[in-house]
Structures are given as structure tokens and as C-alpha cells.
Structure 1
Amino acid sequence: MEEPPFGVLLTASGDRGLDLVQAVRSVTRLSAWRSRQLLDAAPTTLIAETWFERAEQAARRLNELGANAKLACRWCERVMSPEDCPVEPEPCSSPYMSPDGCPASRPRGNA
């Protein structure tokens, strides 16, 4: 079964300017100028659709640098912090997947 795409939402940019610009560049593969624009535009979507693991890694990296980044499931529209994963399976309302099949609901190591 196909897994749902996840996005990365930047809700606050934090105050570690250059470090965050470099992190956004590595996550989005955009220029430094465009990365700064995205940081200044918070709240905004940094990555629209990607695999859960990539979205989780990107959000964790940004959060470690003082930004506030969340994961968003594009099927059920849940927004969660990477620290909240695995999330409880009950809130998932995806018509495409059972709640326990969602990668955000699985304990680590059960891919």
C-alpha cells in the first residue's frame, strides 16, 4: 500500500539566522536568498510532499536549531510535532489507509 505524503510546516523561524538559512537550504535545496525569504514568511510550508522519514528528519533538524517545524499528513491533514511520533492511530481519518498503517502512527523500526 502506498504511504501518505507528508509536508513540513515552519510555524516560527527562531533567532539563529545563518544556521537556519543553511538548514532550510539543505532541506529544500533552494538558494540562501529564497531560504531566508521562507524563514521570514513563517508560518509557511517548506516541503509540500515527501516521505515521512524525510519530513521527520527535516523538522527535527529545524527544531534543534530553534525554529518551530511540524509535520503534516497530506491525506488526513493531521499536524504533529516530530516528538509526538508515533501518534495515536485513532485521529487518522484517511480514506486511503487504516489508522495503524500510517507511518506517523507506527513505532520506530516498524516500517
Structure 2
Amino acid sequence: MTRIIDHPVLGRLENRNVISFQFDGNSYQAYDGESIAAALLANGIRKLRVHEESGSPRGFYCNIGHCMECRVTVNDHSNVRACLTVVENDMIIQSGKQLPNLLKKGGQSNE
């Protein structure tokens, strides 16, 4: 895991407990008090969801809560911003999925 271990404002990470969480069915570790975004980035996760219509990959953009690109599902609650939410022990996080195309009728496209 890659992290800043001695931050001038947040302090030293070695003073924090290590916790476990899941993302898309895989187990990862984080430090107590870290945001979901920081924990995912530290574990090498860059893709958080796919665009609702096109299916193109989406990741972190602003990382300060403005853009909504980091939306994930946390413990069955959808549209949670990973950059503003603190990761908790045994938290289950799922990436956002592409929604079905509502313009399709019976599986056939209207094109």
C-alpha cells in the first residue's frame, strides 16, 4: 500500500489501527479514519464505477466532494461519495454499475 505516513496536519499513520473492508468482493486494508477514496487509492484501485449510459470507466476527479465522480455503493446505500466518507471496519463497498438502457423495449433497440 502507498500512503503518506507522516502528514503535517493529520499526524502519523503508525498511530492508527488497521481495519479491513471489501470492494467489489475483494478484501483490503485501510487505516482507521481514512476516507474510502484514500483507502482505495492506497490499495491501487483507480476505477470506481462506470458511466451510467456509456459504460466508460470513472475514477477520482476532484477528491473534495464537488464532482460526484467517486460515487460508490456502501453497505447497500447507493451514490455515496468515496472522497467524503470515512472507511469503517468490515464496510462493504461496491462500484457503480452501468444502468439498463430505458430506450430498449423487450431487449430490442429503437435504433
- Shorter-chain TM-score category? under 0.3
Q: Return the TM-score normalized by structure 1.
A: 0.26
Higher relative contact order, chain-length normalized (CA < 8 Å, sep 6+): 1
Q: Return the TM-score normalized by structure 2.
A: 0.26
Determine which structure has the larger strand proportion and give its number. Answer: 2
Asked which structure has the greater CA Rg, the reply is 2
